[in-house]
Amino acid sequence: MKLLGILGLAALAACRPPASPPTPNILNFETHPYEVRTLSYEGQIFRVRAYEDIIYVSNPIDTVHQRMNIYIPIAYFEGGSIDRFTAESAPIFFPNQVGGYMPALPGRLQEKADKASPMGARTDAMLMALSKGYVVASPGARGRTSVQGKAPAVIVDLKAAVRYLRYNDASMPGNAERIISNGTSAGGAVSALLGATGDSPDYAPYLRALGAAEASDAIFAASAYCPITNLENADMAYEWQFRNVADYKKIDISMLDYKVERKEVAGRLSEEQQRVSADLAALFPDYLNGLDLSLPNGEKLSLSQEGEGNFKDLVKQYVLASARRAQSEGMDMGRYMFLRMEGQDIADLDFEAYVAYMGRQKTPPAFDALDLSSGENQLFGDSLSDAKHFTTYSPRHSASQDQQADPAIVQLMNPLHFIGRQGVNTARHWRIRHGSKDKDTGLAISVILATALNNCGYKVDFALPWDKPHSGDYDLNELFEWMQQAVEQ
């Protein structure tokens, strides 16, 4: 039967004009060229196959940024294993290089790890991952400075890259059921967003338009350092924390050769800015109370109209836990005057004194600038207006109140709208770090994210590492321990 069938087909084919060759499926990993590279990490030398500049969608609109670099330990093509991982089981480490919501190139590993490269320490995490037997897939993504890169482009791109990995799971070493995302700052925000929004239908039209692979975009675990997230509520959270601090050291963020440059400018809030700060601080309790968050014992988290209450206590407890940990690691905590010591024990924290010690970095509103000058304003722009408002407060106090982003698009950038939602496959494992001296966004933002995830039953490892400023990837050993544990559970 079978033979006849084949012969019949051959006969038919012979009478036809030659068919044009089938369209190559650019989403096929198998056909992508690679190079073998020798890499070293802390004295360990290993070889990988480097598959670079993979365009991860069928209809790219920005072929510079909609690319991914994939690195795979050679051992997995030779039937080998590394530690406990094999070609079938190795998790896929998925670090994005997004900073400042700017366009991001995929992370790239050179033959000799070049520490002076624009990626700096970020490539260290990739090298470490490979040395431990992880497959590494680092996606680029569009960013706010181009018309095509406005929200929600960055998250759509990361989802498309995840779909590419899942679509090619059978033909590629690494287990696409074990994708672990990592990012810092805006990159931390999109890592969290990726973790929260797996398979949400809300992104489907955007993914379809790009010709993203037909596959799931859910991930296994998300790591986020200082996520600049929950943007439409971040102004209120910032002023709830910093309302009593009038002096600031503002950081102007610019970008040179994909390196985010930060320049400090000192000043004091004007009376008008102090009024804005008070307005925003007064709005935060209602927002927080409406979230319906609770402590592990079921007690509801709340704040009084003055901004006091058990939510503030929770934030303090995280800072205290961090201080106690630093002390247990040998740090002399006596010099931090905002800590109340009882003998050698850290007994309490004067929250206002601690916040004064941190210092204010942003002027109110910290994110939705009244003059539309912030990076986040630009993120929510569109083809007609480069920058827009995205909160309810700012347009009402700005000369450009008609410049408001579509609330549906603002939602697509906020993980909180997806956690616990039916039909969404949120990552099971989470690691969130926000330095105790990081003032790029309010501490409440990370505490809310961690608590919302916790309340929905996800596994969350959350801490405020002592005295760390705005940064990421500073504790790679611990990051990889967490990944290892997540995979083993």
Instruction: Indicate the residue among 204 and 255 with the shorter CB distance to ligand DHB.
Output: 255
Stretch that binds ligand DHB, among 99-107, 135-143, 268-276, 283-291 (CB under 6 A): 99-107
For the CA atoms of 32, 172, 63, 121, the dihedral, rounded to the nearest 10 degrees, stands at: -120
d(CA 79, CA 313) in angstroms, rounded, equals 53
Tally of residues, the chain: 489
Which residue of 73, 91, 95, 100 would you call a contact of ligand DHB, by CB under 6 A? 100
Residue list 261-280, contact with ligand DHB (CB under 6 A): none
Q: Quick one: 52 or 438, whose CB is closer to ligand DHB?
A: 438
Q: How far is the CB of 221 from ligand DHB (least distance, A)?
A: 21
Residues contacting 241, CB < 8 A, separation 6+: 355, 442, 443, 444
Considering beta carbons, is residue 131 or 229 the nearer one to ligand DHB?
A: 229
Whether 284 and 301 have beta carbons less than 8 Å apart is answered as no
> Nearest distance from residue 440's CB to ligand DHB, in Å?
4
Indicate the angle between helix axes 351-358 and 310-328, nearest 10 degrees.
Answer: 70
Stretch that binds ligand DHB, among 7-15, 97-105, 130-138, 199-207 (CB under 6 A): 97-105
Task: Tell me the closest approach of the beta carbon of residue 64 to ligand DHB, in angstroms.
Answer: 19
Q: Does 445 bind ligand DHB (CB under 6 A)?
A: no
Residue 141 interacts with ligand DHB (CB under 6 A): yes or no: no
Task: Name the residue with the smallest CB distance to ligand DHB.
Answer: 185
**Least gap, CB of 405 to ligand DHB (angstroms):** 16
Structure tokens at 89: 């089981």
Q: Which is nearer to ligand DHB, 217 or 440 (CB)?
A: 440
The phi and psi torsions of 135 (rounded to 5 degrees) equal -85, 145
| Binding to ligand DHB, residues 54-93 (CB under 6 A) | none
CA dist., res. 149 & res. 325, Å (int): 41
By C-beta, is 57 or 447 nearer to ligand DHB?
447
Candidates 94-102, 132-140, 349-357, 454-462: pick the segment binding ligand DHB (CB under 6 A).
94-102
Three-state secondary structure call for residue 157: helix
Distances in whole angstroms, Cα of residue 227 to Cα of each of 49, 184, 288, 413 = 32, 6, 18, 12
**Looking at beta carbons only, is 92 or 155 nearer to ligand DHB?**
155
Whole-number minimum distance, CB 262 to ligand DHB, in Å? 8
- Report the 10 Å Cβ neighbour count for 292: 11
Q: For residues 172-191, which are near ligand DHB according to CB under 6 A?
A: 185-186
Binding mask 367-406 for ligand DHB (x = CB under 6 A): --------x-------------------------------
Strand 44-55 versus strand 67-73 pairing type:
antiparallel
Question: Contact with ligand DHB (CB under 6 A): which of 74, 260, 333, 424?
Answer: 260
Of 54 and 236, which has the nearer Cβ to ligand DHB? 236
DSSP state string for 214-269: SS----SEEEEES----HHHHHHHHHHHHTT--EEEEEEEEEETTEEEEEEEEEE-
- Quick check: 460 binds ligand DHB (CB under 6 A)? no
Helix (H, G, I), strand (E, B) or coil at 67: strand
Can you list the alpha helix ranges (DSSP code H) found in 228-387? 231-242, 271-290, 310-328, 351-358, 375-379
Considering only residues 422 to 441 of the shown chain, the ones binding ligand DHB according to CB under 6 A are: 440
Is the Cβ of residue 185 or residue 394 nearer to ligand DHB in the bound state? 185
Distances (CA, A) of 346 to 321, 325, 338, 349: 9, 10, 10, 8
**95 sits near ligand DHB (criterion: CB under 6 A):** no
Residue 342 and residue 322: Cα distance in Å, rounded? 17
Sole binder of ligand DHB in the list 99, 174, 364, 465 (CB under 6 A): 99
> According to CB under 6 A, which one of 190, 228, 237, 293 is a site residue for ligand DHB?
228
- What are the contacts of 85-88 at 24+ separation with CB within 8 A? 85/133, 85/134, 87/173, 87/174, 88/173, 88/175
Contacts to ligand DHB by CB under 6 A:
99-101, 185-186, 228, 260, 375, 440
